[in-house]
Chains A and B, each alone.
Chain A
Amino acid sequence: LAKTTQPISMDSYEGQEVNITCSHNNIATNDYITWYQQFPSQGPRFIIQGYKTKVTNEVASLFIPADRKSSTLSLPRVSLSDTAVYYCLVGSAYSGAGSYQLTFGKGTKLSVIP
């Protein structure tokens, strides 16, 4: 299983760009990298997913270097409503020959300051 390492917490002012980096040194060739957002008293919510290079959607961008041993979630111009815990997830699909395991790390608690 690819283990992930993220900063425990980050603070940012409103309107700034926030970059959260996740390390996953033993990522497997077929693994995707997925980021989730979790607000208090809610389940995690899918934000973005990528395999290599850069992915962008209406919420965030995901940068993945060529060696894929890390990834960076970029949130442009954060607001107070972006205060949440962000999880980086690296996992493999069920192959029929082994188990299906998606391992969540402890996440990064982002606090946006007015």
Chain B
Amino acid sequence: NAGVTQTPKFQVLKTGQSMTLQCAQDMNHEYMSWYRQDPGMGLRLIHYSVGAGITDQGEVPNGYNVSRSTTEDFPLRLLSAAPSQTSVYFCASSYSNHRSSPLHFGNGTRLTVT
């Protein structure tokens, strides 16, 4: 099992460019989410999905879009990158949306916006 796979590992963008961060899981998990991690800020929830076709906003959703067309994939789109979006992005999944279901994380995408 690959678990949660994120691509790319590193990305440099110029201000105003768009891109999609990919996230795929092979564990048939219903719940998927995106976090960003900035120095001294811990992890902050951007968007999440409790199943295919269902998404919702987290703590810091502005500037990001998501969709969930399949159970396996949960891409994160930056429509017009800004330097404030320079961060490390983590995708996570869990078996269910039950409160006792632990999260499985990918190894992150390090994004730099110049």
Please list the residues of chain A having a beta carbon within 8 angstroms of any beta carbon in chain B: 30-32, 34, 36, 41-46, 49, 51, 87, 91-94, 99-107
For window 61-114 of chain B, which residues contact chain A by CB distance below 8 Å? Answer: 90, 92, 97-108
- Pairs across A and B, CB under 8 Å, 20 listed: A30-B99, A31-B99, A32-B100, A34-B102, A41-B107, A43-B90, A43-B106, A44-B90, A44-B105, A49-B100, A93-B98, A93-B99, A93-B101, A99-B57, A100-B31, A100-B50, A100-B97, A102-B33, A104-B35, A104-B44
Chain A residues lying within 8 Å of B56, measured Cβ to Cβ, are 99-100
Q: Give A103 to B59 CA distance when docked, in angstroms.
A: 9
Give the contacting residue for A94; candidates B92, B97, B107; CB below 8 A.
B97
Please list the residues of chain B having a beta carbon within 8 angstroms of any beta carbon in chain A: 4, 31, 33, 35, 40-45, 48, 50, 56-59, 90, 92, 97-108
Chain B residues lying within 8 Å of A94, measured Cβ to Cβ, are 31, 50, 97
Chain A residues lying within 8 Å of B50, measured Cβ to Cβ, are 94, 100
With A41-B108, A43-B107 in contact, do A91 and B42 touch (Cβ < 8 Å)?
no
Cβ contact within 8 Å between B92 and A105: no
Q: Give A87 to B105 CA distance when docked, in angstroms.
A: 13
Cβ contact within 8 Å between B40 and A106: yes
